């Protein structure tokens, strides 16, 4: 339960629906807290991203790296916090099913070590509010505190661990 008193703007949920349902209009969304309210900072379509080639072949590597670059610019090289959701497309091998194409939405709570303590506190204590209103019961959640934790490889490992053959 969020205790920071931060509200969630209605656009947060409606933009998220465009990413998660139907035509999947967006590839990723970045949220920020401004004036005690969680708002959509940017919502990026696959066209905006301009990635050519198949996402499943490189397991979204190119798209994810562009996303990380975007986060870094927006947080002034990781000195601010953000929430983000990313539509992660990847391939993994599963026992009896061979390789299969997967499509998972991940929620990232980005609180870099370089950010001010106050910001980290606000983002940490408001995380449950945004997660509850997105209805993230079924989507994967990650906490990120430095760039290495946000690397494509790290995330892909975690995802294949969860959905791959083990």
Partner 1 sequence: MAEYQHVSTFPSLPKTNRGLPLVISSTPSGDKIVYCNGNSVYIVPSDNLTGTDIYTEHPVATTVAKYSPSGFYCASGDQNGNIRIWDTTQTTHILKATYPIFSGPVRDIAWNDDSKRLAVVGEGKERFGHVFLFDTGTSNGNLSGQSRAMSSVDFKPTRPYRIISGSEDNTVALFEGPPFKFKTTFHEHSRFVNVTRYNNDGSLFASAGADGKVVLFEGTEGTKVGELADDAAKGAAHGGSVFGLSWSPDGSKIATASGDKTVKIWNAADRSLLKTITFGTAIEDQQVSVQWSKQALVSVSLSGFVNFLNVELGTVETIRQGHNKPIVALALSQDKQHIFTSDFEGHTTRWELATGKSQRVKPTLHKSQIVGLAHASNGNLYSVGWDDTINVATIGADGVESAKVNPTKLPSQPLGLAAAKDGSVAVVACYQHIAVQSGGNISVTGIPYHGAAIALSPDNTIVAVGGQDSKVHIYKLSGSQLSAEIKTLNHSGAITALSFSPNGEYLAVTDSARKVVPYSVAKDYVSASDKEWTFHTAKVNCVSWSPNGKRLATGSLDTSIIVWNLEKSGEHPIIIKGAHAMSPVNGVVWINDTTIISAGQDANIKHWNVPL
Beta carbon of residue 3, minimum distance to partner 1 (angstroms, whole number): 10
In the bound state with partner 1, the residue whose beta carbon lies nearer, of 70 and 87, is 87
Give phi and psi for 132, each to the nearest 5: -65, -40
What's the rounded Cα separation, in Å, for the pair 23 and 6?
A: 31
Contact 32, 70 (CB under 8 A): no
Beta carbon of residue 39, minimum distance to partner 1 (angstroms, whole number): 13
In the bound state with partner 1, the residue whose beta carbon lies nearer, of 13 and 91, is 13
Beta carbon of residue 16, minimum distance to partner 1 (angstroms, whole number): 9
What's the rounded Cα separation, in Å, for the pair 123 and 136?
A: 17
Q: Which residue spans within 52-166 are E strands per DSSP?
A: 82-94, 98-110, 140-144
What's the rounded Cα separation, in Å, for the pair 25 and 45?
A: 6
In the bound state with partner 1, the residue whose beta carbon lies nearer, of 21 and 47, is 21
Beta carbon of residue 45, minimum distance to partner 1 (angstroms, whole number): 20
Q: Which residues bind partner 1 (CB under 8 A)?
A: 1-2, 7-8, 10, 13-14, 17, 21, 128-130, 132-135, 137
In the bound state with partner 1, the residue whose beta carbon lies nearer, of 34 and 76, is 34
């Amino acid at each position: 339960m969020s205790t920071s008193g931060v509200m969630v703007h209605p656009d947060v949920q409606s933009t998220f629906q465009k990413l998660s349902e139907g035509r999947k209009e967006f590839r990723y969304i970045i949220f920020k807290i401004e004036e005690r309210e969680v708002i959509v900072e940017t919502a990026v379509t696959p066209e905006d991203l301009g990635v050519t080639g198949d996402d499943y072949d490189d397991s979204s590597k190119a798209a994810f790296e562009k996303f990380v670059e975007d986060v870094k610019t927006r947080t002034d090289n990781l000195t601010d916090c953000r929430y983000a959701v990313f539509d992660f497309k990847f391939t993994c091998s599963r026992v009896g099913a061979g390789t299969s194409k997967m499509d998972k939405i991940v929620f990232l709570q980005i609180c870099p070590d370089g950010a001010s303590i106050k910001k980290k506190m606000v983002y940490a204590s408001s995380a449950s509010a945004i997660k509850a209103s997105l209805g993230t019961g079924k989507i994967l959640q990650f906490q990120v505190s430095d760039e290495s934790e946000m690397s494509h490889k790290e995330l892909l490992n975690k995802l294949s661990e969860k959905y791959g053959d083990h």
